[in-house]
Structure 1
Amino acid sequence: MVSGQDHGVPDGGLHPDGSPLTGPTDAQEEGFPQDQAAAMDALRERNHALVQALNRAGKELTKAKTQLAQMASPPMNLALALGVDSVSFDEMGVQHANLEVLYGSRRMVLALAPGVRADRVRPGQTLLLDENMVVVQVRDQAGSGPLRQVSRIMDSGALVVQDTSGASSLVERSGALMDTDLSVGNQVMVDPSGQMALARVPEEDRNDLVLEEVPDVTFADIGGLDRQIDRIRDAIQLPFLHKDLFRRFALNPPKGLLLYGPPGNGKTMIAKAVANSLARGSGTRGVFLSVKGPELLNKFVGESERLMRRIFERARQRAGQGGPVIVFIDEMDSLLRTRGSGISSDVETTIVPQFLAELDGVEALDNVMVIGASNRIDMIDPAVLRPGRLDVKVRIDRPGREAAASILSRYVTSDLPLAAGTSGGDLVQVLVRDVYRQDPGRKVCDLLDQDGRWNPLYMSQLISGAMLRNIVDRAKTMAVKDSIRQDREVGLDADRCLKAVQEEYLDMLDSVGDQNPEQWARTAGLTAGRVSDIRLVDRAGAES
């Protein structure tokens, strides 16, 4: 084997990067015979290829070693910083520090790695420990944890806090709370072991949940739901307004009412109309406490339950003043979801029992009616729907032709600027005919059922009261814009109404989009479990 440059190449045959030299070092120009020169050139090319292969192999080996080291590295642990125990520096200026930490429920003193500055560690921060239990990194403090209420502030700054059961404990303040003004009654987040208060939690304003004025919505404002309204009157108005008769006949008024069905069909309006009718009928000032289910969900352990208690506490307080109180919980399926479903963050395991405890009357709920609204009754915990709880259930469905005409007549009235020779009733019929026609011009999509059949879905099968109102508002906006453009009042006419229906239809096509077929079908109020695929309509063709 040739010994030059470790690869069998004479000295001077390669650049430092391994590439072959050219020019004056070429074999022929050095005076070698032609056959030897060719052999030398071939050796140089081969050597260059070998060097490149070795470089690639070296890089791959380094990468593999790094990955292997990562896979073989031991797990690291997390701890809570309580404070600096001691700090010193040797003659070389290297830091030697120990930290007092909380590791699980154990208080320990651990060494701090030289590269981590002790003066930047604050109580309450999260610490990363290596396999030797040395602190190698300081992180921000945790952003979630159990909640406690401050019941006393010690002279030292430590806090006496209480949990939801009323049990007290003494906790230290984190560095983030050192300069924070706290008072009795404040909510603080503590670490999982309950030994340190990490952060103050802003109080939810209970007044944000209360509408002190009686809602101005009446049953007369709601169109197309006469049958449902009659049932609601029997279930709610009669027990409130004729209490003596109900006592005589030993009838217990229902505690709650559930309004369910596809979105946009008047569930919230009905709840407000109920509050209005009860207040007017009793001659007192009623109260409407409205809250959306997601607003009660909170990342802090126990906070959702506390808010639920405060809502019912507020309801009892207002009811004690003699007036009826409606507690309206919208999107109830997001709050009182079936326990153990695994869909949410398991907050339902505590919030559902808390709601049931309030509803079942740990304290009397006189003059208080709970009304829930949901698009997905199938997701509400069955215990909530048992008799004696939300046992009155009224489905608020999509409007048919007659109901749609009744709804539209609330928004297309004779006092509006109408085109000459046009009446409000005429425009209502124009709108109903166009919305409810079932032809390719109003087809939204095709649905594949579980039997393998494609079935057309039309605009009329997805229409809601909210959409009907939106169509009228679109037509009115067109008339307003034309009036401004032409510098004269332009009346509402059939052409503008038809254009408004077309715009709503195109928006409906966009809303279907690329969604999970079964989930979309359930939300839209279609037959559950029967939709396995969706075939969209060509929007370009629909616009033409």
Structure 2
Amino acid sequence: MQSERFSRKNEAQPRADTAQSRVDTATEERYAQENDALREKNHALAAALTRAGKELQKAKSQLGQLAGPPLTFATMVRVDSCRTDEEGVQHASAEVISGNRRIIVPVASDVPASRLAGGRTVLLNENMVLVEQRGLEISGKVRTVKQTLDDGRLMVADESGNVRLISCAGALANIQIDPSSRVLVDDAARVALEVLPGENANDLVLEQKPDATFADIGGLDEQIERIKDAVELPFLHRDLFKRYDLRPPKGVLLYGPPGNGKTLIAKAVANALSAGKSSDGVFLSVKGPELLNKYVGESERLIRLIFKRARARAAEGKPVIVFIDEMDSLLRTRGSGVSSDVETTIVPQFLSELDGVESLDNVMVIGASNRVDMIDPAVLRPGRLDVKIRVDRPNRDQARQIVLHYLTDDLPYQEGEDAGSLAIALVDDVYSTGEERHICDVCDEQGRFSRVMMADVICGAMLKNIVDKAKTKAVKDSLTQHHQVALGVDSVHDAVAAEFEETRDSVLDADPEQWSKINGIAGGHAVQIRPVE
């Protein structure tokens, strides 16, 4: 009996061991899973801590940058002293110009003193220690070299003719600088930094002998008559003017929307003044924006050169027209804040030169502008540009006259048609009030919308473009069809449609206020341009 119990006991023991083993294995697996989960959490926490550390470091860097003291710009003159101690640490000082102060400052040990070059821009920290070197200054005052001394120093003159002795930056030490050269100097005008290229009035002024005549201008009979009275009479009939004690005007302003013949009128004037003379008239043309220069005093110098050339040509007995296009960009109202107030010096220089024209019989200044309201009033007062002629958009009859200048009788026309009939068809299409010529709608400051038609923005240049488009189409058709294709009404309508599309697209891309001011739409105060739906 006991043996049987012992036997059963021995048989149950393996089963118990197996069950315990399964329990132990499950426990180990559970512990392993928990360990894996904990490791994943640790990894995630470590990654989060790393990211947080980086963000904290970034925030500290940004805070340090925001809290950092400002740096001061200065101009390097020369290294004053430099030595290296037993530990290899540099001890150096440099002479710099900061504002109007010429001072000696220490050089940071991590800035190689041997690489500091005269004329370069350097940075000083709050303790006036030189901590960084940068490149040469790219803008500033300009001076004209009068003389180069044997030791390399320069005698230079400012725009008023005042002479000063200055030194040269290291980069200019071994360069031969000729008199009359222009150099860029530091703000204190103590050091020459760079020799500037030889820009002069020749680079900006187009001198020509215009062949345009008043007969080439269509639709501007009233304006031509007025400018003849202002210019031709006093130039060509001096004795009569003196007899009646009349003084010719010094200048004329042609103003109005762009593309209506202001430049062509000025050229015709220069041509007309040559009538009956042995020498041709001289037309000096310059665009106002081209005279604006980033260097202080340069614009004034260029204005002086232009008038100097005009006087030289006039002294040869040549009638001279000085034509300044886009005059509003050059001679803006002083104190307007536009163009960084450079007009405070340019306007007086121009007025000084214009007043000097009084003693010359052969010089006439003609200005052109799309924005007469922007020109300084002193330029327009009596005794200066006191003759003001508006060159406006053409009406129907004037447009037909302009078109007939380009649709000449010698062109090939379709049977039963001629230049006159095509001109009428073209003008009727352009001045149509139908939706096919509806450019856009504009909104003024009061929120009122008004329609803008093609006729509202038409100009002489656009009329010429239309005729040129019709002619070009005829040339291309002649090449593809292998016979001469004549101009007809369909050609004109296709050309008008093409010009309309180009004009519409350009208007929709324009700035509403600027476009309306230049073109005289919505009183010059449009706030929105709306396409036609």
Q: Which residue of 2 aligns with 1:480?
A: 475
Q: Which residue of 2 aligns with 1:228?
A: 223
1:214 and 1:279 in contact (8 A); partners too: no
Alignment of 1:293 with 2:271, yes or no, is no
Q: Which residue of 2 aligns with 1:130?
A: 125
> Which secondary structure state, in structure 1, belongs to the residue aligned with residue 359 of structure 2?
coil
| Unaligned segments of structure 1, at least 5 residues | 1-26, 539-544
Letter in structure 2 aligned against 1:377: V
Alignment of 1:183 with 2:178, yes or no, is yes
Q: Which residue of 2 aligns with 1:5?
A: none
Q: 2:142 aligns with which of 147, 166, 177?
A: 147
Give runs of aligned pairs for residues 75-94 of structure 1, distance below 5 A: 75-91=70-86, 93-94=88-89
Q: Quote the Cα distance in structure 2 between the aligned partners of 1:525 and 1:76.
A: 49
Deviation of 1:476 (Å): 1.1
Q: 1:61 aligns with which of 52, 56, 63?
A: 56
Comparing 162-171 with 302-311, which one deviates more in the overlay? 162-171
What do residues 21-65 of structure 1 show as CA deviations (whole Å, max 9, x unaligned)?
A: xxxxxx98684596x778767655655554444333322321221
Q: 1:316 aligns with which of 293, 305, 311?
A: 311
Q: Quote the Cα distance in structure 2 between the aligned partners of 1:432 and 1:228.
A: 21
Give runs of aligned pairs for residues 94-109 of structure 1, distance below 5 A: 94-109=89-104
Comparing 441-450 with 522-531, which one deviates more in the overlay? 522-531
Letter in structure 2 aligned against 1:272: K
Deviation of 1:93 (Å): 4.5
* Cα gap change, 1:407 to 1:165, in 2 (>3 Å): same
Q: Quote the Cα distance in structure 2 between the aligned partners of 1:468 and 1:28.
A: 101
What do residues 366-419 of structure 1 show as CA deviations (whole Å, max 9, x unaligned)?
A: 321110000011111111111111111111111111111100100011112223
* Cα gap change, 1:529 to 1:491, in 2 (>3 Å): closer
Q: 1:244 aligns with which of 217, 228, 239?
A: 239
- Give aligned pairs, total: 511
Give the fraction of aligned pairs with identical amino acids, expressed as a percent. 58
Q: Quote the Cα distance in structure 2 between the aligned partners of 1:226 and 1:494.
A: 28
Q: Quote the Cα distance in structure 1 between the aligned partners of 2:206 and 2:61.
A: 62
1:209 and 1:289 in contact (8 A); partners too: no
* Cα gap change, 1:143 to 1:479, in 2 (>3 Å): same
**Bigger Rg, structure 1 or 2:** 2
Q: 2:249 aligns with which of 250, 254, 265?
A: 254
Alignment of 1:511 with 2:506, yes or no, is yes
Deviation of 1:212 (Å): 5.1
1:375 and 1:525 in contact (8 A); partners too: no
2:185 and 2:191 in contact (8 A); partners too: yes
2:206 and 2:286 in contact (8 A); partners too: no
Deviation of 1:213 (Å): 4.4
Q: 2:194 aligns with which of 194, 199, 204?
A: 199
Alignment of 1:389 with 2:384, yes or no, is yes
Letter in structure 2 aligned against 1:252: R
Q: Which residue of 1 aligns with 2:331?
A: 336
Alignment of 1:440 with 2:426, yes or no, is no
Q: 1:356 aligns with which of 351, 356, 360?
A: 351
Alignment of 1:276 with 2:271, yes or no, is yes
Q: Which residue of 1 aligns with 2:410?
A: 415
Alignment of 1:450 with 2:445, yes or no, is yes
2:204 and 2:291 in contact (8 A); partners too: no
Comparing 179-188 with 390-399, which one deviates more in the overlay? 179-188
1:189 and 1:197 in contact (8 A); partners too: yes
Q: Which residue of 2 aligns with 1:498?
A: 493
Q: Quote the Cα distance in structure 1 between the aligned partners of 2:383 and 2:107.
A: 61
Structure with the largest fraction of helix: 2
Comparing 151-160 with 177-186, which one deviates more in the overlay? 177-186
TM norm structure 2: 0.90
* Cα gap change, 1:109 to 1:368, in 2 (>3 Å): same
Q: Quote the Cα distance in structure 1 between the aligned partners of 2:147 and 2:40.
A: 84
What do residues 446-498 of structure 1 show as CA deviations (whole Å, max 9, x unaligned)?
A: 11233433211111111110111111111111111112222222222222221
Comparing 142-151 with 507-516, which one deviates more in the overlay? 507-516
> Which secondary structure state, in structure 2, belongs to the residue aligned with residue 82 of structure 1?
strand
Deviation of 1:507 (Å): 0.6
Deviation of 1:281 (Å): 4.6
* Cα gap change, 1:65 to 1:186, in 2 (>3 Å): same
* Cα gap change, 1:54 to 1:280, in 2 (>3 Å): same
1:336 and 1:352 in contact (8 A); partners too: yes
Letter in structure 2 aligned against 1:219: F
Alignment of 1:161 with 2:130, yes or no, is no
Alignment of 1:532 with 2:527, yes or no, is yes
1:518 and 1:528 in contact (8 A); partners too: no
> Which secondary structure state, in structure 2, belongs to the residue aligned with residue 341 of structure 1?
coil
What do residues 141-164 of structure 1 show as CA deviations (whole Å, max 9, x unaligned)?
A: 111111111111101111111112
Alignment of 1:367 with 2:395, yes or no, is no
Q: Which residue of 2 aligns with 1:304?
A: 299
* Cα gap change, 1:208 to 1:56, in 2 (>3 Å): closer
Q: Which residue of 2 aligns with 1:14?
A: none
Letter in structure 1 aligned against 2:389: V
Comparing 238-247 with 404-413, which one deviates more in the overlay? 238-247
Q: Quote the Cα distance in structure 2 between the aligned partners of 1:364 and 1:43.
A: 99
What do residues 107-140 of structure 1 show as CA deviations (whole Å, max 9, x unaligned)?
A: 3332323333333322100001222322221111
Q: Quote the Cα distance in structure 1 between the aligned partners of 2:467 and 2:88.
A: 78
Q: Which residue of 2 aligns with 1:464?
A: 459
* Cα gap change, 1:107 to 1:49, in 2 (>3 Å): same
> Which secondary structure state, in structure 2, belongs to the residue aligned with residue 411 of structure 1?
coil
Q: Which residue of 2 aligns with 1:6?
A: none
1:211 and 1:287 in contact (8 A); partners too: no
> Which secondary structure state, in structure 1, belongs to the residue aligned with residue 257 of structure 2?
coil
Q: Quote the Cα distance in structure 1 between the aligned partners of 2:413 and 2:189.
A: 69
* Cα gap change, 1:158 to 1:243, in 2 (>3 Å): same
1:259 and 1:371 in contact (8 A); partners too: yes
> Which secondary structure state, in structure 2, belongs to the residue aligned with residue 274 of structure 1?
helix
Letter in structure 1 aligned against 2:53: G
What do residues 179-234 of structure 1 show as CA deviations (whole Å, max 9, x unaligned)?
A: 43321111111111111111122233434455554310000000010011111111
Comparing 526-535 with 180-189, which one deviates more in the overlay? 526-535
Q: 1:379 aligns with which of 355, 361, 374?
A: 374
Comparing 89-98 with 392-401, which one deviates more in the overlay? 89-98
Q: Quote the Cα distance in structure 1 between the aligned partners of 2:72 and 2:467.
A: 62
Q: Quote the Cα distance in structure 1 between the aligned partners of 2:98 and 2:225.
A: 62
2:444 and 2:522 in contact (8 A); partners too: no
Comparing 369-378 with 54-63, which one deviates more in the overlay? 54-63
Q: Quote the Cα distance in structure 1 between the aligned partners of 2:474 and 2:395.
A: 27
Q: Quote the Cα distance in structure 1 between the aligned partners of 2:124 and 2:524.
A: 50
What do residues 283-322 of structure 1 show as CA deviations (whole Å, max 9, x unaligned)?
A: 5422111110011111110110111111111111211222
> Which secondary structure state, in structure 2, belongs to the residue aligned with residue 279 of structure 1?
coil
